Chains A and B, each alone.
Chain A
Amino acid sequence: MLTFLNHFINGISLGSIYAIIALGYTMVYGIAKMLNFAHGDVIMVGAYVCFFAVSAFNLPPVLGLLAAIVLCTLLGIIIERLAYKPLRQATSLAVLITAIGVSYFLQNAAQLLWTSNPKIFPDFFGGIAIKMFDGQLIITLGTLVTIAACIIIMIALTVFTGQTKMGKAMRACSEDKGAAQLMGINVNATISTTFAIGSALAAVAGVLLCSAYPSLVPTTGSMPGIKAFTAAVFGGIGSIPGALLGGILLGVIEIFAGAYISTQLSNAIVFLVLIIVLLVKPTGLLGKQIREKV
């Protein structure tokens, strides 16, 4: 039972990392309707910025996180302006390929700038953990912070998109760009803002990802990025609570598959579960059913 609980906690801690990345994915997808494959690489940049802020400039972790958020937001805006904005009228596939190009670019630029030698990310939480049952059951502070961050971000995003003027403009854009424009919404500015927010979230995700799994290399973001994308689809892409649910479930399934079936096949099992879920619920767990019109 204790082992089971331990696996469960490990699953949630892995899942909360996926969830926090998936929130950024789903935010951008929900509004801009594009799969931003470069999201994982913005995460990596965020982690590097924080790493250098803390280790080279001796800043406290909070300032490191802030530096990462500011720089990633800037980076997100620049990428959006240069690479995605000119393609506003193009097919979403064209944007997808451009995003892949951006992803290659960021990875290779990171390698040239920071070399491919892994950096071990500092442990901000000092190994503090809650121990129960004679240390048989361990919940680290990092896990708790990540989960808290997930929930706060989820609530903040829900309130933001639901209540504020900008958020409403975003939802309008996601429903119908043309109509939104007619209603006097600046669609371009709205989408740019979405990217800025998505990139800021990526910075937070990067710092938390690397605090939990401290090996930092230029390709750090790519696999978690794909997993988080899967998680976002799992929960129903575009749905903010769905991203959280999808991320957590994906993490728990991955850990349980490894623990109780086979570590060799854990990845395959995660994807198998995803397929089965999508067959039963074709728009993900919390996804909206879109009625097709002729």
Chain B
Amino acid sequence: MKKFAKVIALLTVLMLALTCFVGCGKEEATALKIGITGPLTGGAAIYGNAVKNAAEIAVEEVNALGKIQFELKVEDDAHDAEKAVNAYNTLKDWDMQIFMGSVTSTPGTATSKEANNDGIFYLTPSASSTDVLGGVANAITGTVDIARKDNVFQMCFMDPNQGAASANYISSQKLGTKIAVIYKNDDNYSTGIYNSFKAEADKLKLDIVSTTTFTEDTKTDFSVQVADAKAKGADLVFLPMYYESAALILKEAKDTNFAPKFFGVDGMDGILSLEGFDKSLAEDVMLLTPFNADAEDATTKAFVAKYKEKFGEIPNQFAADAYDCVYAIFAALKEGDALKNEDGSYNYGVSAEDLCKMLVEAFTAEDFTYTGLTGENMTWGKDGAVTKTPKGMVIKNGVYVGM
């Protein structure tokens, strides 16, 4: 017993000592260090891995241009705020200069505060909650609960924008008169969209006849939710959620002969590339999404082909956002010219704080726009939110068609 204790104690001390010395050796920097935290393991791993894969592709491409060089490191946060801060600290020990945020919202809320305190530039591909940015009024109470974190930016739509945009779209196109909503009430993303959808729908006098929820623990069976929508005679069901759950709802609706219109948000994107999914279930499903893997433009085609070749999967919206993040940073650095020394080399030793100031200025500059996979002529305001137009899509014969 004593021996074992000693062994463990010794191991602990060794471990402590190891962590203290890791990262002490400094070498001449040869690339700008970009860090990401995301769920690479656990239930949300699909999102983290999509971001990791796409960011790797983008960094490879940028580096191949022979201009400024990037170095990427993605740390696992298992979709947990505590682990995300640990992962962020690990990245800090690695001397990260630019932080591409956390992939999901709750970890993103935690890491954005750290990055704000440390003055490290933060551009998240997909953490869409208003809490990540701060300074946004609560959709229901109208109060500002968290102060604006001024170096934090988003590549994806902010949740309330999506909710409000969906309500507006449904109202202006007269898509439905009796609306049912199913949302995931222990999830930041889903609840955020629902709250703003509800607020906007009330203003527009849309009739929400059924509101039901599910949680992480009850995300398999949707019979109650679908039955409720059906019983209340809903002709449009709004699904602010990710596609895995939506796929189950579509199946349940078909099994019970319930055929309303279904309307999704950007989380719905990816449903068509689900392995084994019966695409006919998604026929006529409408969604507002900034990215479409079937789009015909050259950038999307090249990206999708490369992603498929490397990882054997079709990229989803998370991947597209991450790809755009790398290129947006590249564009904001004027393809590296912003960091060029007089002798033509790049100032890779620039401090994270200086770089942060430079990038914040670049992103919020009046004339800065960026065109990528998820939108054309995107701009960013001082509030950190992106301005881009979501595309209304409808699924016809297993492919997206513009509405």
Contacts and interface: CB of A to CB of B under 8 A. Distances in A.
Whether chain A touches chain B in the assembled complex (some CB pair under 8 Å): yes
Interface of A: 3, 6-7, 10, 13-14, 51, 55, 108, 111, 115-123, 127, 129, 131, 135, 138, 140, 213-215, 217-219, 223-224, 254-255, 258-259, 263-264, 266-267
A263 B220 contact: no
B277 interface: yes
Nearest to A222: B43
B117 interface: no
Interface stretch (B81-89, B143-151, B225-233, B289-297): B225-233
B206 to A, nearest CB: 21
B283 to A, nearest CB: 15
A255 B218 CA distance: 10
12 contacts: A10-B221, A111-B45, A117-B274, A118-B274, A120-B247, A214-B248, A215-B247, A224-B220, A254-B218, A259-B227, A263-B224, A267-B215
Interface string B159-198: 0000000000000000000000000010000000000000
B217 A267 contact: yes
Contacts, number: 106
Nearest to B224: A258
Interface of B: 41-43, 45-46, 49, 185, 212-218, 220-221, 223-225, 227-228, 231, 244-245, 247-248, 251, 254-257, 274-278, 313
Contacts of B275: 55, 117-120
Which of A6, A118, A140, A218 has its CB near the most chain B CB atoms (within 10 A)? A118
Contact of B276 (A7, A121, A223, A254): A121
Nearest to A2: B231
What DSSP secondary structure best describes chain A's contact surface? mixed
Contacts of B223: 7, 10, 13-14, 255
Which of B213, B217, B225 has its CB near the most chain A CB atoms (within 10 A)? B217
Contact of A117 (B41, B220, B247, B313): B313
Nearest to B50: A117
B276 A119 contact: yes
A219 B45 CA distance: 10
A120 B224 CA distance: 21
Nearest to B273: A117
Contacts of B225: 258, 263
Given A264-B215, A267-B218, 11 more contacts: A51-B276, A55-B276, A117-B275, A117-B313, A119-B275, A123-B278, A138-B255, A138-B256, A223-B217, A223-B220, A263-B213
Nearest to B311: A115
Contacts of B45: 111, 116, 218
B285 to A, nearest CB: 15
A14 B277 CA distance: 22
Which of A116, A122, A129, A135 has its CB near the most chain B CB atoms (within 10 A)? A116
Contacts of A224: 220
Nearest to A120: B276
B14 to A, nearest CB: 22
A215 B248 contact: yes
A7 B227 contact: yes
Contacts of B41: 108, 111, 116
Contacts of A215: 220, 244-245, 247-248
A232 B379 CA distance: 56
A217 B43 contact: yes
B258 to A, nearest CB: 10
Contact of A129 (B214, B217, B251, B255): B255
A255 B224 contact: yes
B48 to A, nearest CB: 8
Contacts of A214: 247-248, 251, 276
